[in-house]
Amino acid sequence: MTLRSPAFADGGTIPVVYTCAGRGLAPPLRWSGVPASARALALVMEDPDAPGGTFVHWVLVDLPPRTSALRGGAPPPARALGNSFGRRGYGGPCPPEGDRPHHYVFRLYALDAPLRLAASTSPGDVRAAIGRHAIASGRLTGRFGR
């Protein structure tokens, strides 16, 4: 699967509007190559450079499999689960000031079944459930530093 954003190139800088230094909007995303056998999609955004270990910024599950985009700042047609901020929904990149730029990895997964997880499911348990049901994936990485 191919995952991209009209707001930034793979490996490029995430615009400030999509970060904690800006409006904190979720960036627009587009994808293609979802297998016909997919029954749902899931999206996870993580910062593997966070000082305390991988930090989860966004978890969406049960996206309809024929969806091919998310509009920036618009509510997604999916269920948002908890992130490492302790909230549901998108939490923009927010590395410590003066730290080197962090990498933010967006992963889209095609699943063989909807996950139907409780809103309180931890990010680790979400990743485990995705691992059991993923049949394909796509990745996009952006960078941001303050």
pLDDT tens track for 60-91:
999 999 999 999 877 788 899 999 999 999 99
Please measure the distance between the N-terminal and C-terminal CA atoms of the chain and give it in whole angstroms: 31
CB 91 within 8 A of CB 85: yes
Alpha helix (H) residue ranges in 4-146: 123-133
Residues with Cβ within 8 Å of 18's Cβ and at least 6 positions away in sequence, in order, are 7, 24, 25, 26, 27, 72, 92, 93
Give residue 74's pLDDT: 74
Question: How far from 61 is each of 43, 104, 138, CA to CA, in Å?
Answer: 7, 19, 15
Average per-residue pLDDT for the chain: 95
Mean pLDDT of 40-46: 96
Give residue 77's pLDDT: 83
pLDDT tens track for 90-133:
999 999 998 999 999 999 999 999 998 998 898 889 999 999 99
Domain 2-144: state its class: alpha beta
Q: How is the chain split into domains, by residue range? A: 2-144
